[in-house]
Amino acid sequence: MTGKTTDQFSAGEQGLGYMYQARLALLQLLQLPEDTAIFLEKDDDLDFIDSDGGKSLASLKHKAIGDRLTDLSTDFWKSVNIWLTRYKRDGRATSNLRFFLFTTGTVSSGSFLARLLPDQPVATGDATALTELADAALAGSTSKLIAPIATAFNELSDPEKQDFLERILILDGNPRIGDIPALIRDKQLRCIRREHREFVFERLEGWWTDAVIKQLTGARPEGIFGYEVSDKLSNLAEEYKADNLPITFRGKAPADEIDTDADPRLFVAQLREIGISSNRIRSAILDYYRAFEQRSAWARENLLALGEVEEYEDRLADEWGRYKDVAFEKLKGDSAEEALREAGSALYNWAEFETGKIESLRIRARVTEPYVLRGSLHILADATPEPRVYWHPRFLDRLGELLGVAS
């Protein structure tokens, strides 16, 4: 069979709904005032708190294409059930609540729900008519699901019913989950160059997802504010300026366990040759991994100019060569191994701790992340057939023997 099958126990639609919540929340927060805070899964799917303390509860419905809301649509009345509980809890007409229904479906033109659309506000003269339309819709229902909701609604006085209904806004025809990324990229990321917007959105959504998870798990009890999204977006935009590059591998580690004693790579063998401790070798392996993966990420995103990495490596190799000449200057042909190792260790210490202070050794002016430079030096130390950077003064003479052992 090639047709789509459904499983009564499938959680696919529910999972899609949760993902839709997070994406739509991000889209809305980008459009609202920056001092707006948002909560997920608190009093409703989304709670919006404005600077004056006003609260808007939003129910979200990601429906099948072509879905329509009618007078007795359960999507609407189930949301009403939630809102009624909050309305009564917070003092009814004295509460500061508003209610929103975001749906990808559309409201049927013949339904009284059309009166709750944003382009059709309730006029003062129609106040009684709106309440009567809601009462009439509920009176005509035989649904066991709607019956208790009708009972709860009828506990309100007629003025309270009107007040409650006037607080509701239905926003139909909302973007589907797959359409939201393009909307954010095209309308909210205009400060980013077009070719970088997809990658900036991916990073923004990754940060947002982490913030949402922390809120849902209780690690972050407070709301997520619009200005936090703006600040994050501003920081990301700065990373994509001409004198900067995004740093995305800080704190990352390779999937395989690091074994400093068995690692066969040339740059690791070089460090063993000058007696570098296992802990420092582990740090070097991490720097190498992060720099290598970072370069690959920059290349995938087309962030590097043609020949930029090669020119950068030339600068590093040239500076290394100058300091190497100083570090090895007093060595002689018959210098003891201890003196050779000490000179190599001094050269490596310079490379690890001093090069970061030299602005001309940055790949770009504002890229100051240490692993970029340190890892790039290890990449040069791992070059074949002959490393462009080495630490032990006699390393090139011993290279053939070392490669034989490694193989």
Q: Is residue 271 part of a domain?
A: yes
Terminal CA-CA length for the chain: 53
Same-domain check for residues 35 and 81: yes
Instruction: Examine the domain organization and report whether 88 and 168 are in the same domain.
Output: yes
Residue 109 maps to a domain:
yes
Residues 6 or more apart whose Cβ sits within 8 Å of residue 349 = none
Distance CA 127, CA 112 (A): 13
Tell whether the model's pLDDT for residue 264 goes beyond 50. yes
User: Is 251 a member of any domain?
Assistant: no
Is residue 161 domain-shared with residue 279, that is, in the same domain? no
Are 187 and 281 found together in one domain? no
In a shared domain, residues 99 and 199: yes
Please check whether residues 83 and 31 belong to one and the same domain. yes
Q: Over 80: is that where the pLDDT of 14 sits?
A: no
The residue range of the domain holding 358 is: 266-406
Q: Considering 189, 215, 232, which residue would you say is the last residue of a domain?
A: 232
User: Do 277 and 215 fall into the same domain?
Assistant: no
Same domain for 226 and 95, yes or no, is yes
Please give the average per-residue pLDDT across 312-330, as a whole number.
97
| In the chain, % of residues over pLDDT 90 | 85
CA distance 186 to 194: 9
pLDDT at 250 over 50: yes
pLDDT at 218: 95
Would you say 271 and 348 are in contact if contact means Cβ atoms under 8 Å apart?
A: yes
Rg (CA), the chain: 32
At 110, is the pLDDT very low, low, confident or very high (cuts 50, 70, 90)?
confident
**249 part of a folded domain:** no
With CA atoms as reference, report the closest residue to 40 among 200, 209, 161: 209
Of all residues in the chain, the percent with pLDDT exceeding 70 is 92
Q: Going edge to edge, which strands form the sheet with 97-103? A: 168-171, 97-103, 55-61, 46-49, 37-40, 224-225
Residue 406 has pLDDT above 50, yes or no: no
Bridge-based pairing of strands 97-103 and 106-107 is: unpaired
- Across 77-85, average pLDDT: 96
- Are 390 and 323 in contact by the 8 Å Cβ rule? The answer is no
Residue 4: predicted pLDDT: 47
Q: What is the pLDDT of residue 278?
A: 97
Residues 127, 165: contact at Cβ < 8 Å? no
Are residue 226 and residue 274 in the same domain, yes or no?
Answer: no
CB contact at 8 A, 371 and 362? no
The arithmetic mean of pLDDT across residues 330-339, rounded, is: 94
Task: Report pTM.
Answer: 0.82
* pLDDT at 9 (0 to 100): 40
**180: nearest Cα among 297, 62, 10:** 62
Of 232, 257, 284, the domain-final residue: 232
Number of independent structural domains in the chain: 2
* pLDDT mean over 155-159: 93
Per-residue pLDDT tens digits for 337-382: 999 999 999 999 999 999 999 999 999 999 999 999 999 999 999 9
- Report the mean per-residue pLDDT for the chain: 92
